[in-house]
């Protein structure tokens, strides 16, 4: 059987999806695009994941990959290009990545004025869609551990971050080496959210930042093929999950029903049987009437496994 197409379930204005789409561009990868609703229910995706709340999600046949860190590892393995793996060896660049994937991301949301945000949501989703989007995003944070900075604090954090990125780029084209890499995409994605979705202009005084932003944006998204959900469902149905990793750790939960959920926000659990627990990955098997067995993959970091 031929290798199935690598599929990304996403929506156009998702900053996390933009991070992955740029990886496809850098690696010149051919990939399948299945567009999803911006909030649940997601009929193209929920039957595959069992209700995982976040997006994007990637798919290779009957294997489903949650979280952009894990998706980047899959792209690196498929393309044999470690530039897109979520490993940043340069300390200063790694510090910027951690900030970008932490408070700075939420600052990029909260710094946008409520009126501007509402106008943007109204234009893109319509009145009913805007209300659903706002309620959904508020619900995502309930029960989580993330407390996004607000108001002046968010503005200060984002402004300081942009200045630090600009300073880091002095004499450099890219953040962590001679070419673009995961570091660039991780740092770019909250700024893309603030600029391209939130409508905030990058400061003219930060010339290094602005020219770098344009270089990253120009990388593009590789060879994108538009698909319908039926194609993704067929890929899951017509393929078996791939062989399990060999570096399984011993755990009393192995081969037992468990739930897996993020520890910070969007804590909707996925239920299945734990079939792999490695130093970097959690895999649960879900038996479905529509597709047979599918394996849903999660990173170890930031996720918890609970016995049922």
117 C-beta neighbours (distance < 10 Å), count: 18
Look up residue 280 and give its two tokens: 């970097």
Kindly state the average pLDDT of the residues 11-40.
95
Q: Residue 154's pLDDT is what?
A: 86
Is position 265 within any domain? yes
In which band, very low, low, confident or very high, does the pLDDT at 38 lie, cut at 50, 70 and 90? confident
Percent of the chain whose pLDDT exceeds 70: 87
Lowest mean pLDDT among 49-58, 68-77, 127-136, 297-306: 127-136
pTM assigned to the model: 0.90
Query: 114 with 191, same domain?
Result: yes
- pLDDT at residue 264 tops 70: yes
Q: What range does the domain containing 245 cover?
A: 6-84+223-307
Beta bridge partners of 283: 276, 297
Rounded to 5°, the CA angle 217-198-170 comes to 45
* Residue 232 and residue 197 in one domain: no
Residues 32 and 5 sit within 8 Å (Cβ to Cβ): yes
For the chain, where are the alpha helices, taking DSSP H only?
A: 15-27, 46-49, 68-79, 91-100, 103-110, 114-141, 151-168, 182-192, 207-217, 229-238
Domain boundary, last residue among 156, 185, 217: 217
58-70: average pLDDT: 98
pLDDT band at 200 (very low <50, low <70, confident <90, very high): confident
Q: What is the pLDDT of residues 202-256, one digit of tens each?
A: 999 999 999 999 999 999 999 999 999 999 999 999 999 999 999 999 899 999 9
CA-wise closest residue to 13 among 159, 171, 123, 157:
123
Residue 268 lies in a domain: yes
Percent of the chain with pLDDT over 90: 75
Distance, CA of 267 to CA of 198 (rounded, Å): 25
Q: List the CATH number of the domain containing 74.
A: 3.40.30.110
Contact of 108 with 117, CB cutoff 8 Å: no
Compute the mean pLDDT over every residue in the chain, rounded to the nearest whole number. 90
- Give dist(CA 61, CA 59) in Å, integer: 6
Q: Which of 191, 217, 243 is the last residue of a domain?
A: 217
> Where is pLDDT greater, at 192 or 139?
192
| Confidence band for 147, pLDDT divided at 50, 70 and 90 | low
Per-residue confidence (pLDDT) for residue 130, from 0 to 100: 52
Q: Give residue 145's pLDDT.
A: 59
Q: Quick check: 176 pLDDT over 90?
A: yes
Q: What are phi and psi of 63, to 5 degrees?
A: -110, 130
Confidence of residue 112 (pLDDT cuts 50, 70, 90): low
Residue 97: per-residue pLDDT: 98
What's CA 234's distance to the chain center, in Å?
Answer: 24
Q: Which long-range contacts (CB under 8 A, 24 or more apart) does 65-69 make?
A: 65/297, 66/270, 66/296, 66/297, 66/298, 66/299, 67/262, 67/298, 67/299, 67/302, 67/303, 68/16, 68/19, 68/20, 69/299, 69/301
Burial 120-159 (b: 16+ CB within 10 A, else e): bbeeebeeeebebbeeeeeebbeeeeeeebeeeebeebbe
Number of domains making up the chain: 2
Inter-axis angle of helices 91-100 and 103-110, to 10 degrees? 40
């Amino acid at each position: 059987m031929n290798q199935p197409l690598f599929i990304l379930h996403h929506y156009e204005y998702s900053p996390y999806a933009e991070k992955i789409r740029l990886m496809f561009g850098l690696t010149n990868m051919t990939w399948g695009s299945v567009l999803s609703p911006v909030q649940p229910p997601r009929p193209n995706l929920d039957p595959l994941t069992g209700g995982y709340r976040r997006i994007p999600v990637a798919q290779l046949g009957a294997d489903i990959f949650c979280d952009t860190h894990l998706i980047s590892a899959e792209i690196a393995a498929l393309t044999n290009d470690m530039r897109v793996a979520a490993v940043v060896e340069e300390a200063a660049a790694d510090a910027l990545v951690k900030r970008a994937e932490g408070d700075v991301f939420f600052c990029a949301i909260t710094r946008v004025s409520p009126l501007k945000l509402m106008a943007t949501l109204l234009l893109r989703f319509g009145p009913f869609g805007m209300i659903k989007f706002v309620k959904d995003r508020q619900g995502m944070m309930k029960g989580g551990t993330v407390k996004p900075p607000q108001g002046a604090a968010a503005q200060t954090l984002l402004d300081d971050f942009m200045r630090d990125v600009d300073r880091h780029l002095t004499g450099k084209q890219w953040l962590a080496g001679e070419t673009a890499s995961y570091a660039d995409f991780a740092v770019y994605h909250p700024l893309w959210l603030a600029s391209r979705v939130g409508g905030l202009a990058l400061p003219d005084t930060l010339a290094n930042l602005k020219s770098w932003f344009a270089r990253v944006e120009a990388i593009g998204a590789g060879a994108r093929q538009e698909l319908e959900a039926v194609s993704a469902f067929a890929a899951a149905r017509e393929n078996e999950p791939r062989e399990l990793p060999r570096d399984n750790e011993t755990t009393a939960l192995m081969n037992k029903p468990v739930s897996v959920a993020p520890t910070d926000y969007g804590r909707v659990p996925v239920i299945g049987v734990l079939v792999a627990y490695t130093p970097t990955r959690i895999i649960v098997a879900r038996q479905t009437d529509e597709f047979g067995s599918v394996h849903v993959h999660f990173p170890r970091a930031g996720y918890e496994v609970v016995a049922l």
